[in-house]
């Protein structure tokens, strides 16, 4: 077997740059997708006229079309209507919109588990609807939907590798680019698998910490 560790060590600076790019794109998109999820999930749960159905349509379109097509639509399609984004922001937009659709459903699912009694109690105390939504319903929902939100965030991180298709220099792009010149496919793909696994593990660890924190009030 021919596995050249020294080759990988020599390529580390390039891989590290790719890793950083993957991390930057993914973290930004995770943030934006959560924002989309909270706003969209709220609009869906509160059955806001017009906006509710619009969000539902968005969710259906995203969930039932290939992410690669969405990416090409953003990168190659949008400039035709005068909306030209950089490589980086095209990537962020694509991943945010993709994961946002799933986060909408996650938040909506969490909100559906909040007992109606919470709403009545808030109402009886004269709290305003936005108090109820932001201070009571969302935090309670967040705790129930955190595992699903984490799954979506992990999928987003993995799907960031599609961005190599438009030439963004993230982790997968760096690997494929190197393999084209050095033909060290086994080493490169092994290396980026390990790096993706490490990123996912870090994300899960952070979410686990957060879950434990959110769980605290509910333990007897």
Residues at the contact surface with other proteins, assessed by CB under 8 A: 115, 117-118, 120-121, 123-128, 131, 135-136, 139-140, 143, 214, 216-220
d(CA 79, CA 213): 44
Please state the closest distance from residue 28 (CB atom) to other proteins, in A.
Answer: 28
Give the nearer residue to other proteins in terms of CB position, either 47 or 219. Answer: 219
Give the nearer residue to other proteins in terms of CB position, either 49 or 82. Answer: 49
Please state the closest distance from residue 135 (CB atom) to other proteins, in A.
Answer: 7
Backbone φ, ψ for residue 74 (5° rounding): -70, -45
Give the nearer residue to other proteins in terms of CB position, either 76 or 123. Answer: 123
Please state the closest distance from residue 143 (CB atom) to other proteins, in A.
Answer: 7
Give the nearer residue to other proteins in terms of CB position, either 63 or 128. Answer: 128
Give the nearer residue to other proteins in terms of CB position, either 62 or 210. Answer: 210
Please state the closest distance from residue 43 (CB atom) to other proteins, in A.
Answer: 22
Whether 58 and 125 have beta carbons less than 8 Å apart is answered as: no
d(CA 57, CA 39): 15
Please state the closest distance from residue 92 (CB atom) to other proteins, in A.
Answer: 31
Q: Burial of 62 by CB count in 10 Å (0-12 exposed, 13-18 middle, 19+ buried)? A: middle
């Amino acid at each position: 077997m021919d596995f050249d560790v020294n080759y990988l060590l020599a390529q580390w600076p390039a891989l590290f740059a790719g890793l950083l790019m993957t991390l930057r794109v993914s973290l930004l998109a995770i943030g934006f997708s959560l924002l989309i999820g909270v706003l969209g999930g709220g609009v869906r749960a509160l059955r806001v006229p017009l906006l509710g159905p619009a969000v539902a349509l968005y969710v259906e379109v995203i969930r039932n079309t290939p992410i690669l097509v969405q990416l090409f639509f953003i990168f190659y399609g949008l400039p035709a209507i005068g909306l030209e984004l950089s490589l980086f922001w095209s990537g962020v937009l694509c991943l945010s919109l993709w994961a946002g659709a799933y986060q909408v459903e996650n938040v909506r699912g969490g909100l559906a588990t909040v007992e109606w009694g919470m709403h009545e109690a808030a109402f009886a105390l004269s709290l305003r609807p936005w108090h109820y939504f932001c201070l009571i319903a969302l935090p309670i929902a967040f705790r129930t939907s955190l595992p699903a939100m984490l799954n979506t965030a992990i999928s987003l991180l993995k799907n960031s590798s599609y961005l190599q298709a438009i030439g963004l220099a993230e982790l997968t792009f760096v690997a494929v680019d190197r393999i084209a010149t050095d033909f060290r496919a086994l080493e490169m793909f092994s290396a980026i698998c390990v790096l993706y696994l490490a990123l996912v593990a870090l994300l899960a660890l952070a979410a686990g910490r957060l879950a434990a924190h959110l769980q605290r009030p509910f333990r007897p």
